Amino acid sequence: MQKINLKDCTLSFLDDTFGLEEIAQSSHLDYWLNKSIKPLTEIEKQYLLILQNKLLSNIRDWNEQELLSNFIVPVFTLVNFTTLKFNDFAERNVKATISEYELSGNPDGIIATGRREPKIPYFAFQEYKPQTDPTGEPQGQCLAAMLVGQALNGNTQPIYGCYVIGKDWNFVVLENKKYVISKSFAVDDDEIFEVYRILQGLKEILLEIIK
């Protein structure tokens, strides 16, 4: 059995090795991106603007960890993915055997069933430095973690994902062997509120599908 680290995966490798196909549209992605949530409160709006102002002042200079701790983690904390059904986890090891390959690694973030440790992942998150980094591909790393989640849940539900490159957020859905990647949402303008709405929508979807 060949062991593959998530951080070494690219979209090209995953397509060729596991027979994946990128598609242009998905009803699951459309449902996610357009899901209605309660209107943002004034406190939520003001907090997001505070985070955005900090991003605007630092995005060209932040390293990966600074981007994560100063912007991404506060946004996820505001959404609050801690529920009785699932929780969010960071840098936890996940692995699964798919065909003759063992995929394993430590995604930047996952949302999975379990309270103290992850059990079955339903969402994978990968963030990246603002500048190009030749040591990896966030799209491939994210999709590889989603493949692990798909294997662990028996391929009974779509798997959701997101990767961030600097100010740009992209959302991903994997179902069977087909995946779709959204357009980029830039959090340096009013799309920051769209990103927050989409993450809130993800929480609602997970509450619907995780029994």
Tens-digit pLDDT string for the chain (211 aa): 899 999 999 999 999 999 999 999 999 999 999 998 999 999 999 999 999 999 999 998 998 899 999 999 999 999 999 999 999 999 999 999 998 999 999 999 999 999 899 999 999 999 886 555 545 789 999 999 999 999 998 878 899 999 999 999 999 999 999 999 999 999 999 999 999 999 999 999 999 999 7
Beta strands in the chain (DSSP E): 2-5, 21-22, 86-89, 94-98, 101-105, 109-113, 121-128, 159-165, 168-175, 178-181, 185-186
Give pLDDT, residue 168: 96
Distance, in Å, from the CA atom of 106 to the CA atom of 98, rounded to the nearest integer, reads 17
pLDDT at 44: 97
If one counts the domains in the chain, the total is 1
pLDDT for res 130: 59
The domain of 77 spans 2-209
Provide the whole-model pTM: 0.95
At residue 102, the pLDDT reads: 96
Helix axes 42-58, 191-209, angle to 10 degrees: 120
For residue 75, what pLDDT is reported? 98
